[in-house]
């Protein structure tokens, strides 16, 4: 999901004013389902409730870093192709 958000950022950037609706529809509507934080929140809460502090911090950090890295990879790949 984050990778595809990066691709969409490149494909839609600088287009006509009407593209804002496409951007919102694709990135928030469609792709938002792939990158939802509901599972992330549930898993993190489970770790915190089990007092697994270190595992929770590693999970939070890794999730954020991997999502940002995937989005950056999507931007890079889309720029190479398009």
Query: At residue 74, does pLDDT exceed 90?
Result: yes
Token representation of residue 50: 């089990």
In the chain, where are the structural domains located?
2-81
pLDDT for the residue numbered 48:
93
Q: Residue 6 has what pLDDT?
A: 75
Please tell me which residue, 77 or 38, carries the higher pLDDT value: 77
What φ, ψ does residue 50 adopt, rounded to 5°? Answer: -85, 5
Is the Cβ–Cβ distance between 35 and 2 less than 8 Å?
yes
Q: What is the pLDDT of residues 4-62, one digit of tens each?
A: 777 777 777 666 555 677 777 777 777 777 666 767 887 888 899 999 999 999 999 99
- Alpha helices per DSSP H over 1-82: 2-12, 19-23, 38-49, 53-81
Contacts of 77 (CB under 8 A, 6+ apart): 3, 6, 7
């Amino acid at each position: 999901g984050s990778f595809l958000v990066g691709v969409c950022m490149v494909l839609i950037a600088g287009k006509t004013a009407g593209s804002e609706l496409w951007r919102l529809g694709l990135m928030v509507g469609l792709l938002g389902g792939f990158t939802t934080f509901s599972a992330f929140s549930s898993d993190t809460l489970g770790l915190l409730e089990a007092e697994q502090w270190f595992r929770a911090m590693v999970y939070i950090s890794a999730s954020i870093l991997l999502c940002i890295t995937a989005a950056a990879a999507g931007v890079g790949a889309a720029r190479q192709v398009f």
